[in-house]
Amino acid sequence: MGENASFWESLIYAHPTCTTWKQEAEGSIYHLASILFVVGFMGGSGFFGLLYVFSLLGLGFLCSSVWAWLDVCAADIFSWNFILFAICFVQFIYVTYQVRSVSFDREFQELYSALFQPLGISLTVYRKIVLCCDAEVVTLEKEHCYAMQGKTPIDKLSLLVSGRIRVTVDGEFLHYIFPLQFLDSPEWDSLRPTEEGIFQVTLTAETDCRYVAWRRKKLYLLFAKHRFISRLFSILIGSDIAEKLYALNDRVHVGKGFRYDIRLPNFYHVSLPETPPVQPSHHLQRGSPRRKPMGVTNCSSFSTQ
């Protein structure tokens, strides 16, 4: 115990206390270094936040090295600050290389800026999403079909980048799909990972379209490896389905002729003059999308299961 006490006493009292303080301030280089340290520690996260932090801290340590060399003339202070400057410089080069390696084509860059960046998705996470679709944007010419009712299997999830898609059932118009909307989110959400199904709607390009497609099995493997990406797509798909339901709100009629044109997942075309009016809000609950409306005869039902 005495040895420990003597160690701490020697550590504390080895140097004389300051009896007088310097009247003159340090040079401008020292104060510039301090300002750079303060501003540098205000950096954010992500690649660009790291670039901000390492660049300003590196400049601060460089100024401290110059101050130690010219004003203090202390080799140890100069050495430590110069070593820290070198570490920040190496880290800056490394992060810059990572930023340059995470580069995308123009359409993927625009997609990131419009959809994923506002959600706070980093470029590294976005790169995993892009690699899952093989970094490919597919072209769909005007009046060509993306999916045909009762024929096309549900084996992928696609996001429209440009153009406009028309959705129809038995030749009857349902709604449009616009850029930054999923083409097949209701079909995707209506199936479990182990289930298979076919489209119950026809999707036709009204203009020349470009879309990104993720294969179903490959995307589920990505979800299994990265739960954050799984939650991200769950939110995006849920929001997309909600927008489609709002777009179909005018297609729901209650009265002698009941028409149920919702894509999630069944299409009901019912004409029941004797059926009492049914409130559509009871059948638009997303928690049970496969539930058939009570008291309604299913005359024409196409299940995606």
Cβ neighbors of 172 (< 8 A, separation 6 or more) are: 261
Total domains present in the chain: 2
SS3 81: helix
d(CA 13, CA 182): 71
In this prediction, residue 251 has a pLDDT band, given cuts at 50, 70 and 90, of: low
Residue 62, judged by CB atoms within 10 A of its CB (0-12, 13-18, 19+), counts as buried
Query: In terms of domains, do 85 and 114 share one?
Result: no
Nearest to 269 by CA among 188, 189, 149: 149
Give the CATH number of the domain where residue 165 resides. Answer: 2.60.120.10
Q: Which of 100, 115, 144 is the last residue of a domain?
A: 100
Report residue 168 as tokens. Answer: 């129809």
pLDDT by residue (tens digit) across 264-293? Answer: 444 444 433 444 444 443 333 333 333 333
Instruction: Give the pTM.
Output: 0.57
3-state secondary structure of 149: coil
Q: Model confidence over 152-198: pLDDT tens digits?
A: 999 999 999 999 999 999 888 888 999 999 999 999 888 888 888 89
CB of 61 within 8 A of CB of 88? Answer: yes
* Together in a domain, 124 and 242: yes
| Predicted confidence (pLDDT) at residue 151 exceeds the cutoff of 50 | yes
Domain boundary, last residue among 100, 124, 150: 100
